[in-house]
Amino acid sequence: MSRVITLPAGPRLLIEELPHTYSVSIGYFTGVGACYEPATLSGASHFIEHMCFKGTRELPNAMLISDAIEGVGGILNAATSYESTVYWAKVADMHFDRAVHVLTEMLCCPLFDPREVEKERRVIIEEIRSLQGSPGEWVHALLQEAMWGSQPLGRDIAGSPESVSALSRDDLLTFWHKHYCPENLVISVAGNVRTDQVVATLDAAFARHDANPTNGTLPEPADPAAIACLPHTHDIRPALPGPHVALLQRQTEQGNFCLGVPALSYRDPDRRALQVLDTIVGGGMASRLFQVLREELGLAYHVGSYQSELAETGMWVIYGGVEPEMLRDSITTILDILRDILNDGVTEEELTRVKEQVKGGILLSLEDTWSVASRNGAHQLRYNEVIPIERVVTEVEAVTGEDILRVARRLLYRDALHLAVIGPYGSDDQQELHTMLTTAFAA
């Protein structure tokens, strides 16, 4: 079990001792992401994530930062999401102090060198544009835009070429000063460490920065009035009403699609039932989607489903790539599969098998020190506690066929349906797909 300690500097610290391992993983979880950005700052969280790798007070360039971890065989990485940004490292246990030093430098002392800001701006814009060169990935972003519109959930986490071009260094500094504060930080450690060692190392790391916060090299604080104007929380509005079909005509060799509905938050009591339902529908080779679309009908090679959970809402998405002429039959078959669940539910045999699959996947996901540290940090940020794995397993075991039917009926109705398609199609195809959604389920 992990322990939670509040450091004198303010961050919450979770420690899980795993003495049977040879590694230690450390994650710094900040409670800010794309959902906290007004439209004028779209992409700021992701931009700051990049800048934290470009130089710090004691490691003034990207090479020194990467070599400090990779040079001893470790891994250093980061990711920005809609509600959080995480920086993490995994190293051999003997290099724990080094990893703490690097991560603390990155979050507390990024330089935001103006020349690096401009260089990284070009890199990020190319990153955004590269998405449009991959229809199988782009179609997911198209679905989010169709479902959520102009609010943050409808925008790419990285922003747009236009919004990233407009972000100034002062904009980034203002956003960083607002959100990269100790009370908004959770640090999660898992691996071959002792609790007293972890606490002492992190205390010393943050004390060093508190004692010498600028050293003449850190960026000056942004305008306090501008910092105060930025929100500490986000305001997510409901999804746009469906049924809706967003279609991008591209001369591709495949038709790529995402069929999605607004779904559940990570606080919703039905979230375990949706987790099981998602696995029944699209979770692996035994799922209904795989067995029917690929094995029985040969309509698709690539098909599946996933759910994403946020504080106030979520998404449930079915996706696939098919030969262009197979799109209509594939969508029709998917809607039939969903309608069968709405009408007949699931069998007890199917439910028992899938619950074992879900439980096994949860337990196997915790074999790695970073998996443990990542789960602990994310839970602490979300729930202000780490939900014991035993409780999760018990909740999955308790899911019934009635629970599956209830959550299916909560999510699957006509006005919830959104479909995004990229491929060699036109307006007639779009209208035909819209008619299919309109007649799929009751209002």
What residues are annotated to the active site? Answer: 49
Here the tokens at position 67 are: 């070599």
How far, in Å, CA of 377 to CA of 382, rounded? 9
How many whole angstroms separate alpha carbon 211 and alpha carbon 198?
A: 20
Instruction: Yes or no: say if 280 and 289 are a contact pair by the CB < 8 Å rule.
Output: no
End-to-end CA distance of the chain: 46
| Residue 126 burial (10 A CB sphere; 0-12, 13-18, 19+) | exposed
Using alpha carbons, list the distances in angstroms from residue 107 to 22, 84, 239, 278.
Answer: 26, 14, 34, 36
CB-based contact 164:128 (threshold 8 Å): yes
Q: From residue 149, how far is each of 156, 242, 244, 257 by CA, in Å? A: 11, 12, 12, 18
- Using CA atoms, how far apart are residues 414 and 57, in angstroms rounded to an integer? 55
Looking up tokens 């006005």 gives 415
Q: Where are the alpha helices (DSSP H) in 240-303?
A: 271-282, 288-289
Contacts 24+ apart (CB under 8 A), 389-395: 389/362, 389/363, 392/272, 392/362, 393/359, 393/362, 393/363, 395/272
Question: In this structure, what token pair is assigned to residue 307?
Answer: 């759910």
Give me the torsion for CA of 405, 411, 414, 415, rounded to 10°.
Answer: 160
